Amino acid sequence: MKNDIQWARSLVGRFARQKIMVIGDMMLDRYIYGAATRISPEAPVPVVRVGNEKNMPGGAANVARNVCALGGRVYMRGVVGRDAAGDDLLQVLKEDRVCTRGVLRYAGIHTTVKTRILAERQQVVRVDWEDRLLLPAKVRNAFCAGLFSAVRSMSGVIIADYAKGTIGQDVVNAVMRSARPNAIPVALDPKENDNLKLPGLTVATPNRKEAFALARLPEQPPRANPLKDQPLLQVAAILLNRWKPAFLLITLGVQGMLLVSRNRPPRHVATVAREVFDVSGAGDTVIATLLLALSAGADYEAAAELANCAAGVVVGKLGTATCTDRELQDYLDMLTRTGVKTSRRS
């Protein structure tokens, strides 16, 4: 029998055959880098002399970027304005090999932009331009109809909800009506929208803070052992009952993940990160890897373990980063050399 990690490596090799749709709130992350050597005479704030700028996909667009980095074929669905920021966002997605033919450009909105100004790697300020997405009923109905017809040709779907207005019950209904009869896995990255009805959902992946907020309970300090963290287990039970997914994966930062389903005991997937520099953006990597693995034939426990390995790669990098399929293969090789095993479940 193949050992566990050899099997995981073969699973990663099947990522390139998966067609993944990512639906959600698209944003442009703009970084301005410079040096601060003096304080402004106008106010007690640093003066940053700009050295360079960089545009990157944000929100649901960063989830799509992560799927593409892992080798999957990505089809982005969302809404951007007919403005310069929308042009910039579509350009960086094109550079990342994300298909944007299904992205709606609408003149009545401004593309969401989050600008971070950094001096010597220290963030000085973040400036956000954003409006809640409000589309005329006719336009929104057409957007949902396009989703319904396109989902059936996908291997999997990620709904990336950043609470900016793209994801509503109408969008969820269109996805689920097409995905369920075709046995297409659907993953939800939730933020604040706790009223969605999600019949047939495969998995939801909130982080710990989001899970408590979505369960409408005050967040409690984490316990050393997540399997004995009663407030966390209570939150998991609430979300399982509300959404009724096949399973729930709560990401716990340096503690790894809590994997919960209705018919098996909760399971703690401990982090396999060698070093943790930055956990920002790791959730996007987790849901991208998880859905690719499920689409490629893994069951939920094996998919969670592979997602945990991908998270181990990105938290070892500074800033919002991605994990490539090559990096994930190399990481699995490292686990082989060090004697660490993953579980073979399918």
Between strands 112-119 and 122-129, the pairing is: antiparallel
**Token representation of residue 292:** 């690719």
Alpha helices in the chain (DSSP H): 4-13, 60-69, 84-95, 137-151, 169-179, 208-214, 230-243, 282-295, 300-314, 325-338
Nearest CA-CA partner of 287 in 6, 62, 17, 96: 62
Which residue(s) pair with 119 in the sheet?
Answer: 34, 122
Catalytic residue among 4, 161, 284, 325: 284
Length of the chain: 346
> Rg (Cα) of the chain, in Å, rounded?
20
Contacts of 137 (CB under 8 A, 6+ apart): none
Nearest CA-CA partner of 281 in 66, 45, 137, 43: 66
Active site residue 189: no
Residues marked as catalytic: 284
